[in-house]
């Protein structure tokens, strides 16, 4: 994947060697979002999603560096809009370590993704943010992002997902034996 960035940009596409840092940042994000025990992902999970041995990736990542250390990340994947008839980009997670916030790295990560959308003709870059995360909401609005307050996010996992996804039982014939 190519991204138009300057040679001195602290933002670059992730490489396989970044997987441990990405997982470290995901865990730090979970702590920030008040869910410190929610991360089940492993380095192998990220390697398989981002850099599979066979087939194409199911997710992509860009990292931001400061002093040679990965201190921020943007994990994303492709979506599809039936209204536009084209793919778009879903930003799953954007995270910069607290001590690096205000340095412009978050904006550079988003700018890199926006540039990629423009280059590829993707009409949308979308993400969600927790309602209580006012600093991030203010940051996103300052960049021109618009909250879609009329939408409600749904999730199905665990037992409800297993029950709905279970194989259907054979229909009854209405006859005995």
Residues designated catalytic: 140
SS3 state of residue 99: helix
Please tell me what DSSP assigns to residue 37. Answer: T
Joined tokens for residue 8: 């001195």
> Are the beta carbons of 11 and 105 closer than 8 angstroms?
yes
CA–CA separation, 56 and 74 (whole Å): 19
| Alpha helical stretches, state H, the chain | 19-32, 43-50, 105-120, 134-142, 158-165
Kindly report each contact of residues 24-27 with a partner whose C-beta sits within 8 Å and lies 24 or more positions away, as own/partner.
25/70, 25/72, 25/73, 25/95, 25/97, 26/73, 26/75, 26/93, 26/95
């Amino acid at each position: 994947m190519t991204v138009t960035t300057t040679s001195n940009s602290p933002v670059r596409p992730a490489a396989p060697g970044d997987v441990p840092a990405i997982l470290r940042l995901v865990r730090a994000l979970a702590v920030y979002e008040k869910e410190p025990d929610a991360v089940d992902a492993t380095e192998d999970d990220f390697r398989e999603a981002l850099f599979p041995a066979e087939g194409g990736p199911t997710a992509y990542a860009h990292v931001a560096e400061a002093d040679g250390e990965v201190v921020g990340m943007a994990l994303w994947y492709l979506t599809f809009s039936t209204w536009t008839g084209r793919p778009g980009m879903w930003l799953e997670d954007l995270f910069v370590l607290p001590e690096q916030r205000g340095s412009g790295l978050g904006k550079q990560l988003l700018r890199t993704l926006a540039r990629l959308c423009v280059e590829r003709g993707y009409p949308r870059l979308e993400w969600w943010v927790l309602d209580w995360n006012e600093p991030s909401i203010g940051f996103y609005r300052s960049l021109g992002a618009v909250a879609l307050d009329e939408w409600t996010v749904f999730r199905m996992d665990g037992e409800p997902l297993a029950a709905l996804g279970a194989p259907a039982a054979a229909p009854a014939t209405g006859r005995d034996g």
